[in-house]
Amino acid sequence: MRFPGFSVEWERVKVSDLLDFFSTNSLSWDMLNYENGKILNLHYGLIHKDLPTIVNMKDANLPFINNDKIPKNYTICENGDVAFADASEDTNDVGKAIEFINIDRDIVCGLHTIHGRDKTDITVDGFKGYLFSSKAYHNQIRRIAQGTKIYSISSKNMDEIYLGIPSKREQEKIFALLYAIDRRIATQNKIIEKLQSLIKGLRTFIFSGLFESYAKLGEIAKLYQPQTISTSELQSEGYIVYGANGIIGHYHSYNHARPQICITCRGNTCGQVSLTSPFSWITGNAMVVNIENKVEINQIYLFHFLKNYNFNSIITGSGQPQIVRTPLERIKVPITNLTEQKRIANTLDTNNKNLIIECNLKELYVRQKQFLLQKLFI
């Protein structure tokens, strides 16, 4: 896939011939702060989690090095410099890269990073970040990454990686398109965050008020854990399966024809509340809150109450967090008349549906970017 008007063959370049590499520091998080300092530091954890592909220093937030921990020798980053995370538990993330643009402060690369700079002047600022995010790059990285539990690479591995470099004009086109998508994703994230904050605030305001009566959850709903199916039984198509992490796959059958409230009761996502789709399979890693035979409670109202509930006090287990049925059954649910329940449910659900729409829109942009990263590079 190429932009119209470009037909010249791309130059195939070995990455070690494209980039110069510089030494980096090994400062840990306790040697950094977000308050003040002279030099900013890029920790590899930020590459894995917080930073976009193109780090625009006009709006990026990096930690400072504590003044008494500044290394004696270091290389200041320049516009167009790239940094790679040299270690990860996931082969898809080892070698993950970012590129700096609009640098207006001193920045150095830190723990578990590889600092690279174009020594050939054949790339434009912004292009390399996406080049090193492409499928063409990551396919090669996965083959050479070393390790068992932790995978790692070094600058020496760049001798084994070859990538295509187009003309600077074509690079500018590629950068402009992908950066525009990234900025739209960033805008979408802000929209989602504001909606999440609004919904959380409304839930807290509504359910922290005084109600005339309360009922125990076990009195208004039937709580149970359905039959678990193994991950090996999951399929690529079929009925949706809900597990400890929400939707985990598909199955040839379903165990619930109607939508159900379910609470994750095992693992790190303990207390996560979901409202399932109709005709789905719910595994034993989730507790079903079934109100099908109850007339005094609105399901959407109860769903939003449970989304607002803090389950920390009933989560047990050190190695494997879990929630068991008995403390769940004792949760006191505020009860009002069905008309008021429906009014509250409609108010909260309108915003929740808007949130789902915005999240789905973000997912479309993310998929579009991934498609282009796969098709635009060789």
- CA–CA dist 140, 4 (Å, integer): 28
Are 56 and 140 members of one domain? yes
More confident residue, 210 or 178: 178
What is the length of the chain? 378
Higher pLDDT pick, 266 / 56: 56
Domain that includes residue 143, residue range:
11-166
For 220-237, what is the mean pLDDT? 91
Q: Are residues 219 and 112 in the same domain?
A: no
Q: What is the pLDDT of residues 122-148, one digit of tens each?
A: 999 999 999 999 999 999 999 988 887
**Strands, E assignment, 166-245:** 213-216, 222-224, 239-243
* pLDDT score recorded for residue 318: 74
Please check whether residue 368 lies inside any domain of the structure: no
The confidence band for 228, taking pLDDT boundaries of 50, 70 and 90, is confident
Please write the tens of the pLDDT for every residue from 290-328. Answer: 998 777 899 999 999 999 999 999 999 877 899 999 999
- Which residue in 310, 322, 300 sits closest to 225, CA to CA? 322
Assess contact for 31 and 129: CB atoms under 8 A: no
List pLDDT tens digits, range 324-340.
999 999 999 999 999 99
pTM for this model (two decimals): 0.83
What does the H/E/C string look like for 277-342? CCCEEECCCEEEEECCCCCCCCHHHHHHHHHHCCHHHHCECCCCCECCHHHHHCCEEEECCHHHHH
Q: How confident is the model at residue 107 (pLDDT cuts 50, 70, 90)?
A: very high
Q: How confident is the model at residue 76 (pLDDT cuts 50, 70, 90)?
A: very high
In this structure, the answer to whether residues 160 and 284 fall within a common structural domain is no
Look at residue 86 in the predicted model and tell me its pLDDT.
Answer: 93
Q: What is the CA radius of gyration of the chain?
A: 25
pLDDT over 90 for what percent of the chain?
84
Measure the CA–CA gap between 211 and 203, rounded to whole angstroms.
14
Positive or negative, the CA dihedral 352, 355, 357, 359 is negative
Is residue 85 one of the residues assigned to a domain?
Answer: yes
**Among 166, 199, 227, where does a domain finish?**
166
Split into its structural domains, the chain has a count of 2
Domain with residue 261: its CATH number is 3.90.220.20
Q: Specify the DSSP element, H or E, that contains 114.
A: strand 113-118
Q: What is the mean pLDDT of the chain?
A: 94
Whether residue 230 sits in one domain with residue 292 = yes
pLDDT score, position 184: 97
